[in-house]
Amino acid sequence: MPNKKSLKVYRELRLNARAAPVSFRVPVYYDYKNLKQIDTGRYGIVVQTVIKSGEKAGTKVVIKKIISPFDNAVHSTLLVREIQILRSLKHENFPKIVEVYTPDGGPEEFDNVYIVMEFAGESLFHRRSRGHKFNENEIIDISFQLFKGLEYLHSKEIVHRDLKLENIAINENNKIKILDLGFARHMANEMTSYVITHLYRPPEILCLLNPEKHYGNYKSAADIWSVGCIIAELYLYHPLFYMGEENDDTEFNEIRKIENKINRTIVHIERIFHLCSTPNDSYLQKVSYPSLQQKVSRLPKFSRQDFTSIFQDPGKYFRQFFKSYINTVYVTPSLDTILLLDKILVIEPDQRISAVDALASNMFLNMTSNSSHSQMISQRTASNRLGIELQQQEQALKKLSIKGIKEFLWNVIKK
């Protein structure tokens, strides 16, 4: 790639987006003739290509164009945060950022942002959707890498807040990268209730609790819950808190179709309580909104389920909610895995196992040693300069207008 200060030459392409074709400008040192469009979402278009010149020639990369990066302050702040975090993380389970570029000539006309990262492989969701059946050794390896990445992230006092199969990439050697850090933020900053995709959302967020007020600084526990749901899903071949298909003619699915968010949330909370037990009254009193608290308090009282029996016969468990549920594709986890899940899927976030302690569990006995575990503990207590900088930046961005954020990001890109 050329020196940052040299003049870049771009090729303009037209790619299909959700609403209409979108201009996509690519520096000529990328193979712009053989772009592969791999994702189109609300906030961006992602293509895969290779670097065709320079010392990194032949390297596979993905280029993401951010759609409407400055349409509102929240969107712009998320973008700044993601770029800063990607540039700062130095860990094998997070993607390396190659560059951030804009073809625009100056801050006044600045309206296009492109992020280039190393190609990390397909998502776990895509691999599973193609029919791949993960065996237990693969699941243990993936889980180990997930916890290693989270231990590193949490040691920087950063929480991811949107862990799911779609946001975990896996290559042909089963090496994973944790993607999509747009919602990640410093633990000291206020958390919002809309983060984390619903199926992977922990009870404290579903119940709109304030973790900092009630539990101290246990915000990282939300990521741990999400990983527990991911591990369970890899074994079960379905989400643990599976919501059924659109044509599933059951009372549960009819509730799911109701547009009222609080009703759908109640169904999810009930499923969690059914599996993990109904918490005591003191927990229920922490629910923020009176209407939600009233509905949650009226739910049946459940005892904690035997995880071993659930994973040995998941069909029997799921048919409690879906009479027509049929699934013959699943892997029965070892007792060590079930014991770890039992420590992850805990209602109270302050009682949930941490990433560093999960890595020391017997599930990963053949993948780590006491010395490496001690090293991770040391890493956890090491400098969290990145988290501090993000917190300071977050406070500064709140005071800026869209124009101010645009100027800030322009300077970030041109560093």
Every domain range in the chain assigned CATH 3.30.200.20: 10-118+385-413
117 touches 61 (CB < 8 A)? yes
Burial pattern 253-282, b for ≥16 Cβ within 10 A else e, equals bebbeeeeeeebbbbbbbbbbbbbebbeee
pLDDT confidence of residue 258: 42
CA dihedral 6, 7, 9, 14 (to 10 degrees): 110
The pLDDT confidence band at residue 244, using thresholds 50, 70 and 90, is: low
The pLDDT confidence band at residue 251, using thresholds 50, 70 and 90, is: very low
- SS3 for 90? coil
The pLDDT confidence band at residue 370, using thresholds 50, 70 and 90, is: very low
Domain 122-380 CATH superfamily:
Transferase(Phosphotransferase) domain 1 (1.10.510.10)
DSSP string, 157-206: TEE----SGGGEEE-TT--EEE---TT-EETTSPP-TT-S-GGG--HHHH
pLDDT confidence of residue 376: 53
pTM over 0.75: yes
The neighbouring-strand residues paired with 122 are 170
User: Tens digit of pLDDT for each residue in 22-80?
Assistant: 899 999 999 989 999 988 877 789 999 999 988 889 999 999 999 889 988 888 888 99
121 touches 169 (CB < 8 A)? yes
CA dihedral 196, 389, 179, 377 (to 10 degrees): -90
- SS3 for 123? strand
For the record, the structure tokens of 310 come out as: 């659930």
pLDDT-above-90 percentage for the chain = 50
Distances in Å between the Cα of 205 and the Cα atoms of 253, 298, 343 are 22, 19, 18
The pLDDT confidence band at residue 90, using thresholds 50, 70 and 90, is: very high
pLDDT confidence of residue 7: 67
For the record, the structure tokens of 9 come out as: 């030459």
pLDDT confidence of residue 217: 55
| 162 labelled catalytic | yes
Catalytic hit among 141, 162, 180, 223: 162
Place of tokens 């941490």: 354
pLDDT confidence of residue 42: 72
Distance CA 14, CA 90 (A): 34
Across the chain, mean pLDDT equals 85
Every domain range in the chain assigned CATH 1.10.510.10: 122-380
| CATH architecture under which domain 10-118+385-413 falls | 2-Layer Sandwich (3.30)
Looking at residues 154-173, what average pLDDT do you find? 94
195 touches 149 (CB < 8 A)? no
pLDDT confidence of residue 256: 45
Number of residues that make up the chain? 415
pLDDT confidence of residue 247: 42
